[in-house]
Every structure is written in C-alpha cells, then in structure tokens.
Structure 1
Amino acid sequence: MEITTAQTGVQTSLSDLGTPLVDVTFVVVDLETTGGRPEAEGITEIGAVKVRGGEILGEFATLVDPGHEIPVQIQRLTGITTSMVYDAPRIAGVLPAFLEFLGHDSVLVAHNAGFDVGFLKAACAGHAIDWPAPDVVDTVKLARALVPRDEVRNHRLGTLAAHFGAHTTPNHRALADARATVDVLHALLARAGSLGVTSREDLLVFGAKVPAARRRRATMADGLPEAPGVYVFKDEQGVPLYVGTSGNIKRRVKSYFTASEKRRGMGLMVDLAHTVTPIPCATALEAHVREIRLIAEFRPRFNRRSARPEKAAWLKVTDERFPRLSVVRSRRDDEALYVGPFRSKTAAGAARDAIHDVRRIRQCTQPISSKGAPPCVLAEIDRCDAPCLGELTPEAYAPIVTALRQELESGTSTLVSDLERRLARLATDERFEEARATRDALVEMLRGTDRHQRRAPLVENPHFVAARPRAGGGWEFAVVRYGRLAGSAHANRGEDPRPVIESLALFAEAVSPTDETLPEETDVVLRWLERPGTRVVDSNLPWVSPVGGAGGALSRLDPLVERARELAWEDERAS
C-alpha cells in the first residue's frame, strides 16, 4: 500500500477524545480556618481565582466570621484577627456566592485539596446546602508526581512557588495563596503535558502512582511524529508487544507513561517495551487497516482484541452432483458458493442447522452411488429427498440448490419467513428449548448472510474508488480492490482533488482476486463506505445490495429478541 504522509490531522480515535486543558475552567481556591478539624473549626477566609487557557477570568475573596474567637496561634500564622472578622458575613451567606463563582463544570484546584474540600463540604452539610461535588485536582499530588525530591526539598506551596518563580508569594492569606497556586498549577500542567497529559480526563486520573522509572521512560516518545497513524511497542528483541492507532502518535504514546493509562496489563507492557515504531498514515481508515494487519501478522501479546482470521468460517454450498451445506475454514478457487464469513465455526454450524430445518437440501456426507443405499433417519422422517437412495436425479435435485443459492446471495425473505413460522410453531407447542435454539440459529444465519451480501459487491470488484468529506474541510479517498484497501490519501480544503485521486489510483497496491484479505479489514472498509456522505468516484462494477437481503430482516430482530425473553420465562415457569 502506498502511503501519503500528511501533516494535518484526521478524525481521531476514541483514545484521543476529551476536553483539551486549554478549554478547561479551573477555580483555584484557598481557605484560612481556625484549626484543622472541619467538624469543629470554622472558616475565616476564602480566596479563589478562576482561570482558563492561562487567562484569569475572575477572583473571589472574602473574610468569614467563624462564629467564635480565633486562636492566638492562628492569628499569628495568618494575620487574621477576631476583630477583623467581626463585621464579616457568616459562612451560610458566603457559600451560595462562592458556589455560584465555582460554576457547574469547573475543576476545583487546591494545594492539599483534602483540607479545603473537607471544610467546604462540612460547611455545606451544616447549612443544608448541596455540595456540587466538582472534579478536584490537588497540586500537592501533582507536584509529588512531577517534581522529584532531588529538585525541591519539599512540596509545600511556598517552596514550589519560589521554585517555579510564581508572581505572588504565598503568605497564609487566602487570595494570595490562591494566586500563587495558580502559577504552580500552570507550571505543573506544562510538565504533565510533556508526559501526554493534554486533556481534562488525563489530568483527573494523573497521580503519583506511576513509578518514577516508568515516567522517565517517556523519552521513548521523543522524536515520534505528531501525526495520525499506527504505533508499535517492541521489546529488546524487536518483537511487537502492542499495536495501536491514534490521531496524534506522539501524544498518545506519551500517555502510556502516566496514570491516565488504566487498562490492565498496559503497565507491564510499557515496562517491557524498548522502542516504539511509528507508521504515519494519510487517513484514519488507513491507520485502522494497518493496525488490523499488524495484529493479525504478529499477534502481539498485549492486544486482547487481536484479529484472528483462523476463527472465521464460511458456509459452503458444495460443487457436487448433489450439493450440500458444509462449514469450512477457508475459501477455495472453485465453483462453489461461500457465504460469510461467520464469526466462528460454531456460528456457521448454527446457520447451517437453521437452513436444514426448513430446506430439503442433502445433509449426509457419504458418497452417493447409482445403486442406492439404505435410507438414513432423515429420509425416514421425510426431512430429506434422499438422493442417496438412487431414486432422485441431479436434474430433479438442482432446483432445490438453485433456489437456496438465490436466497443466500440476494434475498432471504422467504427463508426467514419459513424459519419464523417454525419458531412460532415451536413456541405454540411449548417446545421452548428448541425455539430458543432456532431463534439463535436464525440470528447467526442472518448475520453471516448479511455480511456476505454486503461484502460480495466489494470483494468481487477489481477497482473501487470512494471519497468522504473530512472534518474541517477537504476530502479523504480510498482505493479498494477485491475488498482490500489498496491506497488512501486526502486533499485539503481548497485543493483540487482530481490530481490526488489520479495519483492515488496510479500508485495504489496491485491486488489479485486470489490474494487473501482479512475479513475484519473488509468490514472496516465497508463501515467507512456505508457512512453518510460517502461518494463513489470510480468503480469497475456496480456497488449494490439486495432489496430483500438479510440486512432488512436483521432490523426486525428486536421483537424476536423480546420473544426470546418470553420463551425463557415460560420455560422456567414450566420447569
């Protein structure tokens, strides 16, 4: 596949979703109190600064009458005396104004946040005011995670303010301390950003639980492109450990070295990793396809969602004198019809069983001779026309197979109707276990058949070019040959797309109809093509889907599933 490297972004993956820190509103608060116990002591001063994107949006400051004398040692520490708060409002009058200043979606920030939040929550509880439970960031915890002890002697606010050159010197007055905390916060966010913490969601889970040795290994991301594509973590021997995709490779890789990465096993993977190989891609579709191919090729031990093509199975209408249905693991270049792929051999077998319930196609596997053979059980109970008896000619049997092939390839409505009638009869006869099995088999048959009917026009097409509009303007293009992504590129807003399309078609990968393509890859390409807004640019064959196909029947599955719940309940009641 030819790659067109792009410096502009594309639609990001789910792992990149979140609120950028530049768009987050922080309310940095500091309290002065008469002691250290929220349930027994009172607040004497509240100071807060609201910031977003480095810009101060407002400040809040007020003294508070705690309702009792301020201890002498607290007066000496803060400079706030009992006489100073004599005419100050009580906390019941201050809290509503502060909570309004806080807002409904701000992140509350404090240095040693447990202390300040504890007093605020206790004050709300004591005056029947609902605590809004905002997201909270503690700059002490951030500092412990980001500033090693060999850099500063401790993580007190005064020490950090001096270390980072804060514009305000903390002095145990609420507003001054809040202003100093703002500067400390911004310095810490700059450090966290270099480790991949770039969103509100990243910040809220970032803490001191990541070993320092792992954090230092974040340099593994140095030099990686800030472009969309695939990244591959490898061990010392160069063996792939994990494959992923992202709209920004460098930023995503850095996030693995922070506490924002919570997936089980990822910590061990990062500890074992020695290098990261980036593969920039022109579009998100190309990145997704490359991820699928790499996972299938290398089977990285930490990719739990690994593509395993050997699990897929097809339902084959065999090319014999008396064709039958057979479950197979792969397709051959013969005249047989292959329906699928199904998600597993078991699913394909269930679909075959469903068809056998309503179609008189041969089920036995023994060779059929002209001399005939003893009838099987199915022949005795009139479930098969028994070509094995030698009384049925291939010409007389052929219409059964021809009709079934047409149903599987282009229209399943009659087949589905017959299965639904069988399901209704079983339910009426209170044969609930058989009804559930029939329902499950019907679902599997529809899923595999729908997959086949949707894939066939693409898998059989030697050359197909499509375009989709890009977020923010421009177009992205894909060349698909025999169901395989052969090339991908994009044109920026205002750029003439025709030269891009011509170049892409010229240099796209050559694909043969006999080349093996992962079913998951074709499914990903199909989902991209079926999204609203896609346009067909060029195609050697028509891209169509049958009107009476399995997809329409699948859309009616909800009532069927509900009936399955009723059958299960009736079965339990009968037992």
Structure 2
Amino acid sequence: MTGTTERVVTYTQETFGDLGTPLSETTFVVVDLETTGGSPAGSQITEFGAVKVRGGQVLGEFQTLVRPATPIPAFITVLTGITNAMVVQAPAISTVLPQFLEFARGSVLVAHNAGFDVSFLKAAARETGHPWPGFPVLDTVRLARQLVRKDEAPNHKLASLARLFGATTTPDHRALHDARATVDVLYGLMERVGNLGVHTLEELQSYSSRVSPSQRRKRVLAEAMPSAPGVYVFRDGTGTPLYVGTATDLRRRTLTYFTASETRRRMTEMVGLAESLTPIVCATPLEASVRELRLIAEHKPRYNRRSRHPEKAVWVRLTDEAFPRLSVVRSVKDDKAQYAGPFGSRRSAEAAVTALHEVVPLRQCTRRLSARSPGTSACVLLEIGRCGGPCVGAQSREDYAEVVARAGQALAGSTTEVVTALRSRLDDLAEQERFEEARTMRDRMMALVRAAARSQRLRPVARAPEIIAARRGEQGGWELICVRHGRLSGTSVSPRGADPMPYVAALRETAEVVSAPDASAAPAALPEETELILRWLESPGVRLVDLSGEWTCPVDGAGASRALLEPVAATWSGAEPGVAGQPRPLDRPVGALPA
C-alpha cells in the first residue's frame, strides 16, 4: 500500500551564508529502493522508501511495495525479507512512479550509491512513459569516501556509516528503514563539511577533499560579486593583478575557483595567493572580452597565458625604395611601405616571407640599392633564376616594379596567383616523395595566406572612422557598439520595447574619441581587439546602423584562399580539417532599428 506519514524529527543545522543555495533551505528527498536484481536490465523495483527533509526537519515519508512483472528470486527474499505473497496485492510501477515523482518534485534526490537507485528510477520512467524531471542528485557514498577515514569505519557501506554517525534507525534492506538511516548519515556528513566551510548545495555537490580548507575559506572573496556579465581580477596583497578573466555571470563563475570544479594546478596556486577579487560589470559580453584583453596587455598577470605580450606581434614590410624588398619589423610606421600582418611570432612571419620568395623573384639582399648606382656583385639567386639581378643592373627599375606589384598584391590579400604557384610546387614535391620539404612549404604557404587574410580583414575596420552596429539581446532590446578605427570606443544596451535610436545617438555622443592611427594598416587598438570586434560584426543577426568610410572584402581575397586551404592543410598534417575562416558577405542592412 502507498502511504505518506508525517514524522517530525529535528536536526541541528547552522544558518549558512547566501552563496549559492544554502543547505538550510534545500529540500532533500532521501530515497532507497529494493529490487529483484542488480541492474534495470531484467530487474524491477519491489519497494520504495523515501524521506523528505529540509533545514533539519522531516517533512514527510513515502513508502510502498511494488508488484513486479516477474517473481522475486529466492536470494532476494532472503536478503530483503520481501516475498512474492507480500507484493501480490501491491500497486504496479505505473501507479507508484507518478506518486513518487510528485512527492519528490522540486527537491534534491539523495541516495546511498545513488547511481543504482537513479538508474532504476529512470528505467521505470521510460517504461511508464513519464519524462524524467532531471533531479539534482547527491550520493552519500561519494561524500563518505572523501570524509570518513579507514580508522573510523571499516568500509563505506550504509550499515557501517549508520553506526559511525549514531543513526536512530538500523538499516536492514527494507527501503524506508534504509532511507531513514541514510538521512542520519547525510546530516552527519553535512556537519563535517560544514566545519570545512561548505555551506551551500553547489559546494556540497562539487565537494572534494582535494580542495584545501584555506581555499574554501577564501570563497568570501566572491561574496560581493554581482550576477552580471563582466570581468573579474584576482589581486595579491599588494594589489597586483594575478589573473584576469571574463564571465557571463561573475558570481557563478568566480565561486567555482573555490570548489573542486577548478582542477588547474596553477589556478589553485593563484587562489592561494589572492587577497582580493575585483568585479568590472560590463554592458555586453563583447565589452567584457575587450576589457579582458586590455587589462591582460596592461598588467601582464602571471597566471594568464593568453594575450600577455601583444607587443611581440610582428609585421612583414615591403619597403619603399627604388628596389623594394621584404623585411620583418616590430611596428607599422606611417610611411609609403606596404605591411601585412600582424603575425604572432617572428618565425611565422619569416615563413611567410620565404613562401613569397618561392614564387616571386624579389631580391633578398639587405643593402639599399639606388637606381643610378647598382652594386657590382650578385648573389647565387641570380644564377638559379630566383632574382632578376637589380643589384648588378641586370634588371631595370620598371621590370622590377612588375615583380614588386605581384608581391604587393599578395600582401594586400589577392593571393590566388601565389597560392596556385605554391600548390603546384607542393604537388611536384609530393610526386617526388620529398614529403619533409612539402610539409615545410605547406607551413610557409599557410603562414602567408593566414597573415594576408588577417591583414585584409583588419585594414578596412582600422580605416573606418566610425562603425555603429547592433544585435538583438537575449532578453530583448539591442546590444549596441561603436567602433572607431578598429577600437571599441563605446557600448550600450537599449531596453526591450524601447526605441533604440535615442540610445544610438547617446552612444555616439559619449563614445571614446579615437584619433586615426599613424599608419593606415594598423588599427588604433590591439589587433586581437579588432579581431574580436570583427567576429562580433560577422556574427548572425548583426545590423550596421551607421558606417563612416568603407568596409569591403574582395571576392578573390585571401579569406577565400584560406577557407579553401585550411581543411586541405589540416588533412595534409594528418589532423581533422579545421573550421574555414572565410568571411561572411558584408550584406548587412544599414539604418534604423525596430524597437
């Protein structure tokens, strides 16, 4: 028979803080099942026992036998004392399960060896056609393994733990008795973790003995963090930033640093040194990402690994002289030279230069040549046909200018000619089974194409005096951004249902004033910042509200070459093809936004 009784039993439970869901306010349903076997495949439930508790008080109990579709094996009867005669008049699982799901609704399921009980419950839900509610689950065995030492109990069986914690009910393989004993074990374990600083459901679910008590105590650093998107900065005792990160929910994210969900060793070390945690609330996720980049570049926190040294980016320069040549430089100047990049390292920049030299016969000597006074000696490149010999007057300035134009087109993003020639050479090397050389040439070609595509994408945004764009927010309204010369100069959010155009006007008036960069090839921001903005602008649903200047992308640009080559290059290296980086067509509607 199904029965629900009230049994008032009070446990002592402290009042905890408000980080997450306090344990004192959490409703637990401690459940135990008796079954005809050890697996839902071929076995069925014969008895339910459950106790509902919250804040140390028992709110109710649920107990019933269940009539299985097959006889109960004799050894199960010996173990549980449940006979076939006892269940012959009991309700079927189709009747019992809905009652249990209603009893447990809105609670956290607790069981000793929870995987066993939950697997049978889920199987019963499938069998009876009831959707599984997706209860949060807590396993007292897992907690006990981390909190109970071997010298305290011989094992982590329910009977042993019930004796250790002085349970008022002795477990005897009857469902309700075992559930009552598990309640006492649960509160005994909760008392132990409470002494270690675990006071919320989230902390209890992720509890691990790997987390030190001092690390848990530092969770107070996250108490003032708001539930909003933004940037967080861990600082040491002197105020020096140790780590900068972003989050869509600052409170939820920073709490994870003080639980077992954070497994990175360097982060555990960082938390040990941290003395304060600073939140920076941002209007939009894009603003948070940009602020993170800027803070990392400014402070170079030792526990951040990404974007710490943007000043190490390098560029390939096609010099402005009578007989131009390629060089690798650290910065872009306001001169008549042509630049491509930025590259993440000098090695990748030099690889791109080598790739261009493979098919374009630019001179590679480093001395400055005059149109009137060429040199008197040539290098071996002239002898093998890799250079026209302007250094000895063998090539006129006009003829050399045609070679320079080809190189300039490739650096500007029109890489079709260069890529075609390089792929032809790759095929030749592969046919000759010179695979190491082919792999080297492939890497050089991809370095050139990636840099050309990157430069081609950055250039129009860097040159645009102002771009104002919008995207629908998740909760309605619009996320608004103002970009000036590739730098995020302002961001705002218009409320749902409001006319967004006044907010656009306010954004334009209050956005940061950004002067045009000295060099037209470089943005007025870190290249990574401009790339973040570009990805946002190219994401689905973005509308261009206003554009000063031009934003174009040629059909035969390096982006198209990269989109074609990235999967092929990944296959050549034996890896899975990567995601192609082809820019989306710039067909955004420009103008006013609907509310």
**Fold-level match, TM-score > 0.5?**
yes
What is the alpha-carbon distance in structure 1 between the residues aligned to residue 448 and residue 530 of structure 2? 19
Deviation at 1:349, TM superposition (A): 0.8
Checking the alignment, whether the CA contact within 8 Å between 1:196 and 1:255 is kept in structure 2 is no
Deviation at 1:395, TM superposition (A): 3.0
Report the CA distance shift for 1:437/1:109 in structure 2 as closer, same or farther (over 3 A).
Answer: same
Aligned to 2:571: 562
Report the CA distance shift for 1:473/1:431 in structure 2 as closer, same or farther (over 3 A).
Answer: same
Q: Secondary structure at the match of 1:293?
A: helix
Q: State yes or no: 1:442 paired with 2:445.
A: yes
Residue identity matched to 2:559: G
Aligned to 1:214: 215
What is the alpha-carbon distance in structure 2 between the residues aligned to residue 505 and residue 342 of structure 1? 32
What is the alpha-carbon distance in structure 1 between the residues aligned to residue 506 and residue 144 of structure 2? 52
Q: Secondary structure at the match of 1:375?
A: coil
* From 411, 432, 436, the counterpart of 2:435: 432
1:65-214 matched pairs, under 5 angstroms: 67=74, 82=81, 85=83, 87-88=85-86, 109-111=109-111, 113-114=112-113, 137-139=138-140, 174-175=175-176, 178=179, 205-214=206-215
Checking the alignment, whether the CA contact within 8 Å between 2:472 and 2:478 is kept in structure 1 is yes
Report the CA distance shift for 1:343/1:120 in structure 2 as closer, same or farther (over 3 A).
Answer: closer
What is the alpha-carbon distance in structure 2 between the residues aligned to residue 419 and residue 25 of structure 1? 67
* From 30, 33, 45, the counterpart of 2:32: 30
Deviation at 1:449, TM superposition (A): 0.7
Checking the alignment, whether the CA contact within 8 Å between 1:479 and 1:485 is kept in structure 2 is yes
Checking the alignment, whether the CA contact within 8 Å between 1:46 and 1:174 is kept in structure 2 is yes
When the two structures are superposed, what TM-score results if normalisation uses the length of structure 2?
0.71
What is the alpha-carbon distance in structure 2 between the residues aligned to residue 387 and residue 198 of structure 1? 76
What is the alpha-carbon distance in structure 2 between the residues aligned to residue 468 and residue 120 of structure 1? 43
Aligned to 1:360: 361
Cα RMSD (Å): 4.6
Report the CA distance shift for 1:410/1:176 in structure 2 as closer, same or farther (over 3 A).
Answer: same
Report the CA distance shift for 1:556/1:175 in structure 2 as closer, same or farther (over 3 A).
Answer: same
Checking the alignment, whether the CA contact within 8 Å between 1:282 and 1:488 is kept in structure 2 is yes
Deviates more, 1:279-288 or 1:387-396: 387-396
Q: State yes or no: 1:527 paired with 2:535.
A: yes
Aligned to 1:338: 339
Deviations 1:495-539 (CA, angstroms, capped at 9, x unpaired)? 221121111111111122148521211111111111111111111
Report the CA distance shift for 1:278/1:560 in structure 2 as closer, same or farther (over 3 A).
Answer: closer
Deviations 1:390-432 (CA, angstroms, capped at 9, x unpaired)? 2433333222212322333242212211111121222223332
What is the alpha-carbon distance in structure 1 between the residues aligned to residue 62 and residue 444 of structure 2? 65
Report the CA distance shift for 1:541/1:118 in structure 2 as closer, same or farther (over 3 A).
Answer: closer
Deviation at 1:365, TM superposition (A): 0.5
What is the alpha-carbon distance in structure 2 between the residues aligned to residue 414 and residue 26 of structure 1? 69
Deviates more, 1:305-314 or 1:381-390: 305-314
Q: State yes or no: 1:552 paired with 2:560.
A: yes
What is the alpha-carbon distance in structure 2 between the residues aligned to residue 117 and residue 509 of structure 1? 56
Residue identity matched to 1:367: R
Aligned to 2:151: none
What is the alpha-carbon distance in structure 2 between the residues aligned to residue 536 and residue 347 of structure 1? 34
What is the alpha-carbon distance in structure 2 between the residues aligned to residue 562 and residue 95 of structure 1? 54
Deviation at 1:241, TM superposition (A): 0.8
Deviates more, 1:264-273 or 1:350-359: 264-273
Checking the alignment, whether the CA contact within 8 Å between 1:30 and 1:178 is kept in structure 2 is yes
Report the CA distance shift for 1:180/1:97 in structure 2 as closer, same or farther (over 3 A).
Answer: farther
Deviations 1:123-173 (CA, angstroms, capped at 9, x unpaired)? xxxxxxxxx9x9962247659999xxxxxxxx97899999xxxxxx96756
Aligned to 1:301: 302
Report the CA distance shift for 1:366/1:488 in structure 2 as closer, same or farther (over 3 A).
Answer: same
Residue identity matched to 2:419: V
Deviation at 1:374, TM superposition (A): 0.9
Deviation at 1:343, TM superposition (A): 2.0
Query: Which of structures 1 and 2 has the larger relative contact order (alpha carbons within 8 angstroms, sep 6+)?
Result: 1
Report the CA distance shift for 1:526/1:362 in structure 2 as closer, same or farther (over 3 A).
Answer: same
Checking the alignment, whether the CA contact within 8 Å between 2:243 and 2:303 is kept in structure 1 is yes
Checking the alignment, whether the CA contact within 8 Å between 2:28 and 2:110 is kept in structure 1 is no
Checking the alignment, whether the CA contact within 8 Å between 2:162 and 2:170 is kept in structure 1 is no
Aligned to 2:389: 386
Report the CA distance shift for 1:245/1:303 in structure 2 as closer, same or farther (over 3 A).
Answer: same
Deviation at 1:50, TM superposition (A): 10
Q: Secondary structure at the match of 1:536?
A: strand
Residue identity matched to 2:537: L
Report the CA distance shift for 1:330/1:555 in structure 2 as closer, same or farther (over 3 A).
Answer: same
Deviates more, 1:402-411 or 1:24-33: 24-33
Q: Secondary structure at the match of 2:491?
A: strand
Q: State yes or no: 1:240 paired with 2:248.
A: no
What is the alpha-carbon distance in structure 2 between the residues aligned to residue 255 and residue 270 of structure 1? 11
Q: Secondary structure at the match of 1:486?
A: strand
Large movers: runs of 4+ above 6 Å:
24-27, 63-66, 93-102, 118-122, 143-146, 155-162, 179-185, 187-192, 194-199
> Which residues of structure 2 form unaligned runs of 5+?
1-22, 36-44, 54-58, 121-131, 148-159, 576-595
Q: Secondary structure at the match of 1:526?
A: helix
Report the CA distance shift for 1:450/1:61 in structure 2 as closer, same or farther (over 3 A).
Answer: farther
Q: Secondary structure at the match of 1:261?
A: coil
Report the CA distance shift for 1:144/1:371 in structure 2 as closer, same or farther (over 3 A).
Answer: closer
Deviates more, 1:332-341 or 1:448-457: 332-341
Checking the alignment, whether the CA contact within 8 Å between 2:29 and 2:109 is kept in structure 1 is yes
Report the CA distance shift for 1:69/1:381 in structure 2 as closer, same or farther (over 3 A).
Answer: closer
Q: Secondary structure at the match of 2:259?
A: coil
What is the alpha-carbon distance in structure 1 between the residues aligned to residue 500 and residue 204 of structure 2? 40
Q: State yes or no: 1:458 paired with 2:466.
A: no
What is the alpha-carbon distance in structure 2 between the residues aligned to residue 198 and residue 344 of structure 1? 46
What is the alpha-carbon distance in structure 2 between the residues aligned to residue 307 and residue 249 of structure 1? 22
Deviation at 1:550, TM superposition (A): 1.2
Checking the alignment, whether the CA contact within 8 Å between 1:141 and 1:208 is kept in structure 2 is no
Deviation at 1:265, TM superposition (A): 1.6
